Structure 1
Amino acid sequence: MSTSEQPFASYHLWSLVAPSVWQQRWHCQMRRGFVKARQHEPQIKALLAKATASQRIGLLAQKGVYEFHHHIHLLNQSDGVEKVGQLLKLSKSTDEVKQRVLQILKKYHDAPLLLDKHIILLTRGDEGFPKPILISQQHYSFRLYAAMDCVFIESDSTLHIVDFKTGKSAFDRRQALVYLLAARYLYPRHQAIASFYNLEFRKKSEIISVTKSELDSIEGELAEIARKHQLDLQKYQEKNSDFSEIFPPNPGSHCRFCPFNSICEFSAFKALPPH
């Protein structure tokens, strides 16, 4: 079996397969079909390539944190925020994106979360897919993708994984669980914990930690998600006219916010064509 045919799992796939508790009403499997089964079709590829203002803000905020620690002296300079803004080429962004990112940079400059931390990983956020972790047990085998924002070592040698958020993004515990499972393989000598930090509101989540048996259970659940998704992909490849049966739609008012509403025949909200 080639690498591309091996089952895989990630937090993103988990969120597309199963909704978080507060999103069950709005969850649509067809979105998973567009994102994971038809992503190479030109129309869909173009829609996936469009970044929303919120996505741009999140990415630039992450890059800003990276630049502050890549050029650590900027955290002590009064014009540090301005300098990082120049590195991020904020002048090329829309006013909304520029102003919100500058506010985030100012807040981080005033209270840098990672200052004096023993950082072992800090990503820019635009590196693309990380190298997969091959998980192979007696009853299953799959690739795990886990793109972590930041990892540092606490004074007691605990490994702390932090995921940065912006805007009103909810903290989804499942994302932290995927990172903790990845840490089991990437950093086997360390006890690991995870948390979220909203750069825009300076809001920290609770610390998330799990036992070995809980990690075993999470791994089993992700193996099942990987297996189910791979099966769905195979069904679609065999008979792509069954798309809406393999990835059933769930139309409603939430279609308004779906990036595929302009091409989805089941959409309850059709985007208006440009004039």
Structure 2
Amino acid sequence: MSTPDRPFASYHLWSLFAPAIGQERWHCQMRRGFIKARQHEPQVKALLMQATPPQRIGILAQKGVYEFHHHRHLLTQSDGVEKVAQLLKLRDSSEQVKQRVLQILQKYQKSPLLVGKHILQLTPGDEGFPKPIVIEQQDYCFRLYAAMDCVFIESDSTLHILDFKTGKSAFDRRQALVYLLAARYLYPGKTAVASFYNLEVGKKSELITINHHELASLEFELANIANRHQIDLQKYQASSSNFSKIFPPNPGNHCRFCPFNSICEFSDFQGAKLQAMPITRNRCQLPKLH
């Protein structure tokens, strides 16, 4: 995914590189190493291909919204939810996934958030990597990846980037900021806002905005993350035996939620009462954005 002369950045990389506020205790750089440096190894690749139930629910919920608006008559048909469930092949999912996705579809049909909106983009959620945005400035150059769920135009011509969520996780404002930076290049000259909407509980976030000065600061920060990550990749390629030094582990009870606990030699998941390593607070500093 990367080349020696063109580092990359994305919200996903940012979240792997630096924890969200309040999540520092559970953050592990080794997870970034597995996902971004060792992703082609057979064992790691196999684990990455296994979607967890929460991931499956998120993907299917997004696809459900897409199908409702791709076949708009299903929004008003009495059997619309059943028809969308068939399109999603929900019968092939586990009972837990099936029931939660059905509830999301029923909730969305009763209150379809996007009805009447001038939709510019609505993705099914399984389209893979988006085309990168090449950002070139005097002091840096990197590729920005930003997969937006939905983009529509408000009545006042404002561009609104909407990200769908499921489950109980808190909204991470950094994701919206990355989308707003991407919008600067994809929709030049447009005033843009971003927000989150939890399809499962019907919760909307506040509208998130960013000014030109903050955009420049954000872009510089992402360029820094891209370059630092690129250096780590090069170090690993030069000496793979230094994996744990380049991507330090942070074992603890949170290992039980890590997809790599079965192959990680530092995992605390197997019941060993290891004392968690000291936390390295290397979060990237970004000015508070209003």
The residue identity in structure 2 corresponding to 1:4 is: T
Q: Secondary structure at the match of 1:180?
A: helix
Q: Secondary structure at the match of 2:142?
A: strand
Give distance in 2, aligned partners of 1:128 and 1:102.
24
The residue identity in structure 1 corresponding to 2:75 is: L
Give distance in 2, aligned partners of 1:4 and 1:89.
38
- The CA deviation string for residues 166-193 of structure 1, in whole angstroms up to 9 with x for no partner, is 0112100000000000000000021000
Say whether the 8 Å CA contact 2:8–2:226 is kept in structure 1. Answer: yes
- The CA deviation string for residues 19-72 of structure 1, in whole angstroms up to 9 with x for no partner, is 001210000000000000000000000000000000000000000000000000
Give distance in 2, aligned partners of 1:190 and 1:135.
18
Map of 2:14 onto structure 1: 14
- The CA deviation string for residues 123-148 of structure 1, in whole angstroms up to 9 with x for no partner, is 00000000000000000000000000
Give distance in 1, aligned partners of 2:44 and 2:92.
26
Give distance in 1, aligned partners of 2:59 and 2:266.
31
- RMSD of Structure 2 on Structure 1 (CA): 1.0
Give distance in 2, aligned partners of 1:19 and 1:63.
28
Map of 2:130 onto structure 1: 130
Map of 2:256 onto structure 1: 256
Shift of the alpha carbon at 1:76? Answer: 1.0
Map of 1:46 onto structure 2: 46
Q: Normalising to structure 2: TM-score of the pair?
A: 0.92
Shift of the alpha carbon at 1:3? Answer: 6.2
Give distance in 1, aligned partners of 2:229 and 2:56.
29
Map of 2:98 onto structure 1: 98
Map of 1:168 onto structure 2: 168
The residue identity in structure 1 corresponding to 2:250 is: N
Q: 1:270 to 1:3 in 2, by over 3 A?
A: closer
Map of 1:79 onto structure 2: 79
Shift of the alpha carbon at 1:78? Answer: 1.1
Give distance in 1, aligned partners of 2:2 and 2:203.
39
Residue 188 (structure 1) aligned with residue 188 (structure 2): yes
The residue identity in structure 1 corresponding to 2:70 is: H
The residue identity in structure 1 corresponding to 2:101 is: V
Query: What is the aligned length?
Result: 270
The residue identity in structure 1 corresponding to 2:61 is: A
Shift of the alpha carbon at 1:79? Answer: 0.9
The residue identity in structure 2 corresponding to 1:188 is: P
Q: Normalising to structure 1: TM-score of the pair?
A: 0.97
Map of 1:153 onto structure 2: 153
Give distance in 1, aligned partners of 2:83 and 2:268.
45
- The CA deviation string for residues 179-237 of structure 1, in whole angstroms up to 9 with x for no partner, is 00000000002100000000000000000001010010000000000000000000000
The residue identity in structure 1 corresponding to 2:110 is: D
Q: Secondary structure at the match of 2:22?
A: helix
Map of 2:28 onto structure 1: 28
Unaligned runs of 5+ in 2: 272-290
For 1:47-62, list aligned pairs within 5 A: 47-62=47-62
Map of 1:228 onto structure 2: 228
The residue identity in structure 1 corresponding to 2:3 is: S
Unaligned runs of 5+ in 1: none
Instruction: Give the structure with the higher percent helix.
Output: 1
Give distance in 1, aligned partners of 2:58 and 2:155.
29
Give distance in 2, aligned partners of 1:101 and 1:108.
10
Moved more, 261-270 or 175-184: 261-270
- The CA deviation string for residues 244-272 of structure 1, in whole angstroms up to 9 with x for no partner, is 0000000000001101011111111139x
The residue identity in structure 2 corresponding to 1:152 is: F
Map of 1:242 onto structure 2: 242
Q: Secondary structure at the match of 1:21?
A: coil
Map of 1:109 onto structure 2: 109
Map of 1:119 onto structure 2: 119
The residue identity in structure 2 corresponding to 1:153 is: I
Q: Secondary structure at the match of 2:144?
A: strand
Q: Secondary structure at the match of 1:223?
A: helix
Map of 2:3 onto structure 1: 4
Q: Secondary structure at the match of 1:200?
A: coil
Give distance in 1, aligned partners of 2:263 and 2:2.
30
Q: Matched residues, percent identical?
A: 75
